[in-house]
């Protein structure tokens, strides 16, 4: 079985400050890794995904994430956040052998203050 | 493309009533997913279809829930009878192939309140 743990339920940060949202996963098989973002009253949209190759993945809106296999982590970072980044962020995994079955973490609410 | 379309956006019903949620996936996508989002349990996959065939329904909570995909452009999630604990936001998502590498595209969700 797989599980995803997002270590912070809420992260408040000031505008233009850097931010890191932490994600750890547990799986007995190899997985693909994803970060999705949910803006208020909207569905989720993909920020970035790690499938293979370089462990540093760049996504939309200036976000990036680094896959660390030994630590089973996939932390999301942005060097300078904007008010518009205020949203809920979800880390998710899909096992190699289970089609598109996404397993989500509980989410991290990022609140960017002026 | 219009994206994934869900209807209704909001549904308020009374306990014991039948509820039907509807989804139109992105044209050309072969896979469709139904998720439920609650504060207590987060985002859970209920069921997913590949080429209109249910592949994994292990997340469907009980027999009161059923899902169908009669054709490539339409799916329904039905709850009968509904209970207050079914109150949640239900999302539909579609993806091109249902592969683990696919990006899933989510609809705006249906907020269900069962009184």
Compute the Cα dihedral for B45, B31, A88, A51 and give only its sign.
Answer: positive
Q: How many CB atoms lie within 10 A of CB A60?
A: 10
Bridge-partner residues for B48, per DSSP?
B33, B56
Lowest mean pLDDT among A38-47, A76-85, A96-105, B64-73: A96-105
A100: confidence class by pLDDT, cuts 50, 70, 90:
confident
**Average pLDDT of span B99-107:** 90
Name the minimum distance, in Å, from the CA of B51 to any CA of chain A.
13
Q: Which residues of B touch A41 (CB under 8 A)?
A: 108
Query: Is there a contact between B100 and A103 if contact means CB atoms under 8 Å apart?
Result: no
Q: Would the pLDDT of B40 be above 80?
A: yes
Tracing tokens 């996508």 back to the chain, one arrives at B29
Task: Give the model's confidence band at A98: pLDDT under 50 very low, under 70 low, under 90 confident, else very high.
Answer: confident
Q: Which residues of A touch B42 (CB under 8 A)?
A: 104-107
Asked if A47 and A62 count as a contact pair (C-beta separation under 8 A), the reply is no
Q: B50 pairs with which residues across the strands? A: B31, B53
Structure tokens at A59: 């996504």
CB contact under 8 Å between A104 and B43, yes or no, is yes
Query: Cβ contact (<8 Å) for B55 and A90?
Result: no
Residue B1 binned pLDDT confidence (cut-offs 50, 70, 90): low
Residue with tokens 């200036």: A62
User: Average pLDDT, stretch B58-83?
Assistant: 95
Answer yes or no: do B31 and A99 touch at CB < 8 A: yes
pLDDT band per the 50, 70, 90 thresholds, residue A1: confident
């Amino acid at each position: 079985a797989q599980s995803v743990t997002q270590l912070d339920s809420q992260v408040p940060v000031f505008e233009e400050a850097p931010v890191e949202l932490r994600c750890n996963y547990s799986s007995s098989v190899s997985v693909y890794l994803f970060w999705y973002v949910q803006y208020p009253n909207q569905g989720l949209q993909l920020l970035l995904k790690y499938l293979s190759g370089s462990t540093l993945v760049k996504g939309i809106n200036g976000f990036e994430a680094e896959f660390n296999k030994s630590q089973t982590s996939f932390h999301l970072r942005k060097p300078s956040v904007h008010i518009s980044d205020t949203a809920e962020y979800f880390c998710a995994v899909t096992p190699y052998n289970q089609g598109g079955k996404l397993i989500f973490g509980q989410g991290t609410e990022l609140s960017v203050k002026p | 493309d219009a994206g994934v379309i869900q209807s209704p956006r909001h549904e308020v019903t009374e306990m014991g009533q039948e509820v039907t949620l509807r989804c139109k996936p992105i044209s050309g996508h072969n896979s469709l997913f139904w998720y439920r989002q609650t504060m207590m349990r987060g985002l859970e996959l209920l069921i997913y279809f590949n080429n209109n065939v249910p592949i994994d329904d292990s997340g469907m909570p009980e027999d009161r829930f059923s899902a169908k995909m009669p054709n490539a452009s339409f799916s329904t999630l039905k709850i009968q009878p509904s209970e207050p604990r079914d109150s949640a936001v239900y999302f539909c998502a579609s993806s091109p192939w249902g592969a683990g590498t696919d990006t899933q595209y989510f609809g705006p969700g249906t907020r269900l309140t069962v009184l």
